């Protein structure tokens, strides 16, 4: 009797496992491929004096650089940017302000902005980015 119960449980377990594997294979085959591109972009140096120097630029300042993907996407990708490194200084309040963002995202690339405000001094920065799409 015990042997029959154990045998029935083994058959049920194997049947369930096969059914799960079949359903998993079916779901995986329906996944759509995505394209992922990553990169690092430094803050531009050319014509950046007003951005670096708070006395020259004052208030809100920003500078941008065009980022071009190695391969164009088929659909507009989602882009995430994050500061990777920065060299900051502040001659008055010792408060450091820097921001970055991606705008005008297209199939071929995006505009990457570095921003700062008030008396913050930004000498250098770099951004890591990731773009995900098809």
pLDDT tens across 78-114, in order?
Answer: 999 998 887 777 666 677 777 889 999 999 999 999 8
User: Which among 110, 30, 100, 40 is positioned nearest to 76, based on CA atoms?
Assistant: 110
- What confidence score (pLDDT) does residue 130 get? 92
Q: What is the dihedral of CA 36, 42, 44, 49, to 10 degrees?
A: 150
Check: CB of residue 65 under 8 Å from CB of residue 72.
no
- What confidence score (pLDDT) does residue 83 get? 87
CATH number for the domain whose boundaries are 35-133: 2.60.40.2080
When pLDDT is averaged across residues 49-77 and rounded to a whole number, the result is 80
DSSP state letters, 14-66: HHHHHHHHHHHHHHHHHPPP-EEEEEEEEPP-TT-HHHH-HHHH-SSEEEEEE
Distance between CA atoms of residues 98 and 87, nearest Å: 10
pLDDT tens across 39-50, in order?
Answer: 998 887 776 666
């Amino acid at each position: 009797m015990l042997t029959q119960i154990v045998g029935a449980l083994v058959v049920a377990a194997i049947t369930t496992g096969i059914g799960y594997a079949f359903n998993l294979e079916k779901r995986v085959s329906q996944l759509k491929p995505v394209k992922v591109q990553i990169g690092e972009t430094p803050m531009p140096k050319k014509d950046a004096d007003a951005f670096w120097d708070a006395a020259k630029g004052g208030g809100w300042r920003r500078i941008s650089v065009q980022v071009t993907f190695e391969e164009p996407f088929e659909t507009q990708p989602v882009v995430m940017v994050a500061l990777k490194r920065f060299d900051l200084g502040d001659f008055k309040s010792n408060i450091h302000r820097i921001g970055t963002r991606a705008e005008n995202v297209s199939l071929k690339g995006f505009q990457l902005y570095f921003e700062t405000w008030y008396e913050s001094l930004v000498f250098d920065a770099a951004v890591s980015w990731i773009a995900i799409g098809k």
